[in-house]
Structure 1
Amino acid sequence: MQSAPRRDSRITAGVVALAAIAVLIGGAFAGLILEGAHDLSGAAAAFDGYLLRVARFTLWQALLSTLLSVAPALLVARALSRHPAFPGRRLILQLFTVPLALPAIVAALGILALYGRAGYFAGVFARLGGGEWPGIYGLSGILVAHVFFNLPLATRLFLEALGTIPADQWRLASQLGMGARPAFRLLEWPVLCAALPGVAGLVFMLCITSFTIVLTLGGGPAATTLEVAIYQALRFDFDPARAVVLTLLQIALTFVVVAALTRLGANTVGDANLPVAPRRYLSAGRVESLLNAGLIALALLFVAGPMMATVVSGLQADLGRLAGEEAVRRATLTSAGLALIAALLSVSLSLALIAARRALALRRRASSAMSLLEHAADTGAGFVLVVPPIVLGAGWFLALRNITDVFAVAPVMVVAVNAVMAMPFAIRAIRPAYDAASERHERLCLALGISGWTRLSLIDWPSLRRPLATGFAFAMALSLGDLGVIALFGSDSVQTLPYLLLARMGSYRTADAAGLALLLGLVCLMLVVVADWLGREAKA
């Protein structure tokens, strides 16, 4: 008789991780369903003109943001690709990673410092318009902020796609005397066209789930998206029935977009592995070089402007007084503590899913199909992409409001949601290293009977140390800058730095908000730089 396969602790850990994700998402859905069933008439009444207006604006601003981000990104990426020796090219590409590290509320404050009613460019715009500059609140502010975040991202993804063109094709084009236009039509455009749906879909998804940008720059009911409407329905109007309808509609929209992205094979995490600039065999003409240099310079100024404005405004604040305030110190400690726990939890859950997937794949015969458990371990973390943080928060807010004080459980909800939302990034950092280590050590560990914590600490740890640190730093940066969950559950007793920053902006203490934004932005940027450095070291 053939003995049954020995139980693998990695599979058990993976099942526990999947159960934790299922409880978080399922609990949110249960809260929504129960609340909707409790007040069917109120939910039905929520289907009114306001709902249609909010849904229409959500789609409209996402579509405009996508067009304004992706179209220039095509041109900037091609310009950078055509000039691999462009002065400062490496520095520009590194600068284009900074928006990914900045919390949305910090970037919003930088944009207001530049283009707001009292911004640095307010006088210029007032003279050009022939009257007082009203500021950039509303649709224009939302579009500027979304382009600030997504133009660099789309540029890097398109540049990565252009880097896949084989050098042999460039060499052949040079031998044939091919000019810029036919080279674009025959070599570059097919690659860009293949990448375009995925990049545009990713940017559209990021814009349709944007919460902090719309909350801070929307400026009123005319510029409200579904996620902001959910927040307003729960925190200001306390209309649970309307919140349920808005949340279900947001989930439906996000599900459609994520399903389309998955079908297109898009990079839903949004990172880009840029290769070393390949040798090019076609040289750009003088006119083309000037145009490309102008495009790169404009993109650089647009991206660097809000960053510089954040630094200048922050340095003008009374940083010494802010550092001495009890509220600031308490919010800093709260943010650091919650982000630390969320990052540890995110990395632990990610490692459990990765290890379980690998163990199940090794058990499966080459010809057999993936089991349901293996498929869940492989894609479980991707479920969170369908349910934005504000939706998870809204579901649990409704589920807990009749059981306990929802504001008392704020730390638990912030840690749980932020940990799960950071898992796709952590998995992307850890999984290649774990699979490589398993490939080297699996047979040896099986022969010696080494498993569980002993294997992790003695065998896998040297290979996983840097990737785990990369995932941890990135997860901590995401948690530090998040405003989605704490916006619902925050109170005077539980405040994070983003929550305190939003409160200072709401009370028109813009100098204090600028100082807090500088502090928060520098910490998050430092964490992401460390994560990037550790990731590069791990690949070396």
Structure 2
Amino acid sequence: MNNWRLPGSIAAFTILVCLSAALIALLFAAPLPSLTGLLEDAYLHHLIAFSFKQASLSAVIAVGSAIPIARALQRRHFFGKILLLRLASMTLILPVLVAVFGLMTVYGREGWLAMLCHRLGIDYTFSPYGLSGILLAHVFFNLPLATRLLLQALQQIPNEQRQLADQLAIQGWNLFKFLEWPWLKRQLFPAFVLIFMLCFTSFAIVLTLGGGPQATTLELAIYQALSFDYDPGRAALLAIIQLCCCGGLLLCSHWLTPIRAHEVSLRQTWRPKVEGVWARIIDAAAILILVLLLIPPLIAVTTAGIGPQTLAALTDPALWQAVALSLKIAVVAGVLSVSITLMLLWTSREYRRRQQYGWASCLEGSAMLILGVPSIVLATGAFLILNQTIGLSRSPAYLVIIVNTLMALPYASKLLESPMRDLANQYSRLCLSLNLGGWQRLRHIELPTLRQPLLQAFAFASLMSMGDFGVIALFGSQDFQTLPYYLYQQMGAYRTQQAAVTALLLLLLCFLIFILIETLADRNAHHKSTRL
């Protein structure tokens, strides 16, 4: 075997072994139900129906609301726009429990909005639990994501088309119908499928805001079967059903998503002229909705965490033990995720250079396979394997790291795939002429040039791991607590003051890590551009 085949083969084999072991454990542990039994299981029908219902409603609300917001952000230029877009990007790596704490502070029965309604003499009836609370939290996380995706689609419209529409005085509804809608609809279905998948496999939101058996999803039912009922067979059966649903959704999205051709505009900038009072009012209202959705929960977390109780809460040794464990898991998972992604893409790129596209697609697809396997399914398989062999460890850090590493691979792959291909197109001939390959090429060409996307991929993978609650909820204990698990324990025990400090600390850690790595990446990009 040639050396260039080895890295990707090892990485793909490792991924397939982990996934296969989890799935085999599920298949052996799951009871063999009869078709009649499945058809007559009313609670299982409710779980599947509610999982699809909440995911569909969340995706429809997020994507539908994102259309006017994306149009407003594309057309308007105002102070704080860049900051607002960065906050929208931050929701992708914001720990779920921190956002839930902020949403409860604002929209809870004793929250800010309830107090305002009480002072105005208005009866506040909104419940942050059950379906309404789940939808609110999902929209908080996914509306900014949908907005960024649709804004990107609008920014891809060739400036020549916008200039022509301006010259023909096409405005209002006709501008949307004939110019913007053809570009928006290309991204609507992929955005809907992505958000649907994220909501369908949501765990922490449903666990904290679900309203009992009537608001339970498949993912939460798996956790309950293992943690409360200790029924591995039931958990395995639910995990297999969950896996089939996710796999079917991925296949449908792959078949139904059209291949889009990218057009290149010859002009650099073209700002459309948007006139009319109603257009200004609609755009202002759309931007205000995004601001009111994002800003108050973050302010709530900040203000609630600063007070007389802050110093006492920060002196708790258990808090800093949770911080240390979270940082350790996040750093190791981030390094492993980026390393495995580099190994996959290195070999995949060499296959493509040799026009062996089938093998290249297989390697790249091995990372994307994980999108169809929710973290709770992987964790359940690992739980069954350990329980039936060596037993569960008191400190299963390695298991949490492995699952978090696997779950971050699709995102790290997407961040590094295009830069590595561009680098190959730019430097392959030079490396061949200098007989530069293997470790020497990686050291002198790849790593220095790819430092910015590598740092971004590491930041994303690490922050995903730090804020993860799905895996640690299954393996966490009093002796093994990450910061999200510690926060969940405080919220469950109604220790609101201490939970506020923990939520603020987790938020600050994620912000600081994100800003530090972004600064290092930007400094590296600036240094590279000055050298050129």
Fold shared by both chains (TM-score > 0.5): yes
- Residue in 2 that maps onto 1:178: 170
8 Å Cα contact 2:395/2:479 also seen in 1: no
8 Å Cα contact 1:467/1:538 also seen in 2: no
Decide which moves more: 46-55 or 286-295.
46-55
Aligned residue among 60, 85, 89 for 2:81: 89
1:103 partnered with 2:89: no
Q: Distance in 2 between matches of 1:155 and 1:161?
A: 10
Q: Distance in 2 between matches of 1:18 and 1:519?
A: 37
8 Å Cα contact 1:76/1:299 also seen in 2: yes
Q: Alpha-carbon deviation of 1:13?
A: 1.1
Aligned residue among 370, 378, 387 for 2:357: 370
1:349-386 deviation per Cα after TM superposition (whole angstroms, max 9, x unaligned): 0000010101222233xxxx523x32221221101000
Q: Secondary structure at the match of 2:24?
A: helix
1:59 partnered with 2:46: no
Q: Alpha-carbon deviation of 1:41?
A: 5.7
1:459 partnered with 2:450: no
8 Å Cα contact 2:491/2:499 also seen in 1: yes
1:453-473 deviation per Cα after TM superposition (whole angstroms, max 9, x unaligned): 333223322112232222112
Decide which moves more: 73-82 or 495-504.
73-82
1:50 partnered with 2:37: no
- Residue in 2 that maps onto 1:160: 152
1:505-530 deviation per Cα after TM superposition (whole angstroms, max 9, x unaligned): 11111211111111111212233334
Q: Secondary structure at the match of 1:182?
A: helix
8 Å Cα contact 1:61/1:143 also seen in 2: yes
8 Å Cα contact 2:451/2:521 also seen in 1: no
Q: Secondary structure at the match of 2:306?
A: helix
Amino acid at match of 1:495: Q
Q: Secondary structure at the match of 2:229?
A: coil
- Percent identical pairs in the alignment equals 40
Q: Secondary structure at the match of 1:101?
A: coil
8 Å Cα contact 1:104/1:213 also seen in 2: yes
Q: CA RMSD in A?
A: 2.5
- Residue in 1 that maps onto 2:350: 359
8 Å Cα contact 2:96/2:205 also seen in 1: yes
Q: Distance in 1 between matches of 2:221 and 2:303?
A: 33
Question: In the comparison of the two structures, how many residue pairs are matched?
Answer: 518
- Residue in 1 that maps onto 2:64: 71
Q: Distance in 2 between matches of 1:43 and 1:418?
A: 35
1:302-351 deviation per Cα after TM superposition (whole angstroms, max 9, x unaligned): 12111111111122372322222121111111111111111111011000
8 Å Cα contact 2:314/2:501 also seen in 1: no
- TM-score computed with the length of structure 1 as normaliser: 0.90
8 Å Cα contact 1:199/1:266 also seen in 2: no
Q: Distance in 1 between matches of 2:127 and 2:305?
A: 20
Q: Distance in 2 between matches of 1:127 and 1:436?
A: 59
- Closer, same or farther: CA 99–412 of 1 in aligned 2, 3 Å: same
Q: Alpha-carbon deviation of 1:133?
A: 5.4
- Closer, same or farther: CA 15–75 of 1 in aligned 2, 3 Å: same
Amino acid at match of 2:4: R
1:285 partnered with 2:276: yes
Aligned residue among 228, 243, 257 for 2:235: 243
Which structure 1 residue ranges, 5 or more long, are not aligned?
Answer: 1-6, 268-275
1:36-89 deviation per Cα after TM superposition (whole angstroms, max 9, x unaligned): 2xx436998676211111111111111111121111111111122232x23432
Decide which moves more: 522-531 or 49-58.
522-531
8 Å Cα contact 1:198/1:266 also seen in 2: no
- Residue in 2 that maps onto 1:341: 332
1:394 partnered with 2:380: yes
- Closer, same or farther: CA 15–302 of 1 in aligned 2, 3 Å: same
- Residue in 2 that maps onto 1:11: 5
8 Å Cα contact 1:474/1:531 also seen in 2: no
- Closer, same or farther: CA 277–80 of 1 in aligned 2, 3 Å: farther
Aligned residue among 117, 121, 132 for 2:113: 121
Q: Distance in 1 between matches of 2:107 and 2:423?
A: 50
Q: Distance in 2 between matches of 1:304 and 1:290?
A: 21
- TM-score computed with the length of structure 2 as normaliser: 0.91
Q: Secondary structure at the match of 2:225?
A: helix
Decide which moves more: 114-123 or 476-485.
114-123
Amino acid at match of 1:256: G
- Closer, same or farther: CA 151–402 of 1 in aligned 2, 3 Å: same
Amino acid at match of 1:397: F
Q: Alpha-carbon deviation of 1:135?
A: 4.1
Q: Distance in 2 between matches of 1:290 and 1:133?
A: 29
- Residue in 2 that maps onto 1:300: 291
